Chains A and B, each alone.
Chain A
């Protein structure tokens, strides 16, 4: 038996299935065949590592990192939390990249067609690397909701996209964070691609009054869980952790 670590298989009932017809783009872009299960090898159990030296001083500040004439417009917020594995251990050195629409719900992208105005001081991207305790933090403005071409009148709830790198390519994850109390979460065909309500609630950041900056910014807490390494029995003892 090898002493290489492995992962428990992904719990695919917790994730959205590939085909979710209410989200029309999935119809032609979802594999029809079953996934082939792969006994993970070094190719999946390793991954690139990004150091803290990658991160520029304004990378975690979307209010200022594209500013031309002043701060970005919108409700100022702090988003923070921790990255943990499935055994609740903090995961340090995780590269988090995030992107979002501006306060009016408009993305800075050539394919974007929504009529809401661009904010000349808002680019919409940021990144950070988690600390020793798995913690991260960034400052931004609360994105607006926006309509999108799907059903006749579908709107996305306010959300921030996250890309997450663990230590292994098999952990690679993109997801979206929503805001506590937003009724539009429960009307969204992309959100409802996730079958389990408890799983959806894992994507809803909690308003955290204790971490607000008085007279400045609200705070939302969003913890992220990555797949964890599985213990493997090796010479009658647990290894792999």
Chain B
């Protein structure tokens, strides 16, 4: 189909090294403007589903972790419903926002989200996708926010059926989207490292 639009999208510019001032001001010591940084908390005591921690680092082409990046995630609730006005299939868990925002640590480069494992969501033709979390990454040196997805290593059957994951031609590249499961201090923890370029470059999507 040809482009039917009358206006062009506003072009992107990098979020730069001081993205925290705008998006996580309390994190960077600008306190008293907002009560809490948006997206810091995704769950409460009554959120349904398995509690998990998602963490990892973002590496540049020389293998150095980014210490000035910002990540947002977006995911379905435990039943596969999005907490969004555009979710028409049912009502999502009111105790789960589905959206998180975290800066990578200024010393280690690690990011960390406390969330729940999402349910499965159908794609356009009705086939079920495997559980996944959408990632959006901005930082100094990234001219246009990068979209990727995290899948779960312990979901072999669902991963095999997922039209998006199983549709990726290179199995080696598809593996860059799969987070390994472990346990840290008794909590289920998925490690999802992102490689911006070079060996093991993560798949990024044109969504």
Are A16's CB and B1's CB within 8 A? no
Interface CB pairs A-B, < 8 A, 21: A4-B124, A24-B141, A29-B196, A31-B196, A31-B202, A32-B197, A32-B198, A35-B204, A41-B164, A42-B82, A43-B149, A46-B84, A46-B86, A86-B7, A97-B22, A108-B21, A124-B22, A124-B30, A174-B14, A193-B14, A225-B9
Question: Closest CB-CB distance, B207 to chain A, in whole Å?
Answer: 5
How far apart are the CA atoms of A46 and B121 in the complex, in Å?
A: 12
In the complex, whether B5 has a CB less than 8 A from a CB of chain A is: yes
Tally A-B pairs: CB < 8 A: 281
CA distance A169 to B168 in the complex (A): 22
For residue B124, which residues in chain A have a CB less than 8 angstroms away from its CB?
A: 2, 4, 6, 39-41
Interface size class of chain A, counting residues whose CB lies under 8 Å from the partner chain: 35 or more
Q: Are A48 and B28 also in contact (CB < 8 A) when A26-B142, A226-B10 are?
A: no
In the complex, chain A residues 43-72 whose Cβ is within 8 Å of any chain B Cβ: 43-50, 54, 56, 58-59, 65-66
B residues within 8 A CB of A169?
74, 134, 136, 207
A123 touches B33 (CB 8 A): yes
Q: Which of A9, A50, A87, A175 has the most CB of B within 10 A?
A: A175
A125 at the interface (CB under 8 A from B): yes
Nearest residue, chain A, Cβ from B89: A42
On whether the beta carbons of B204 and A16 are closer than 8 Å, the reply is: no
What's the tally of chain B residues with a CB closer than 8 Å to chain A?
85
With contact pairs A86-B9, A125-B33 given, residues A20 and B143 touching in the complex (Cβ less than 8 Å): yes
The A-contacting residues of B in range 7-23, CB under 8 angstroms, are 7-23
Q: Does A137 contact B (CB under 8 A)?
A: no
Tell me which residues across on chain A come within 8 A of B38, comparing CB atoms: 50, 54
Residue from the list A23, A40, A42, A110 in contact with B29, Cβ < 8 A? A110
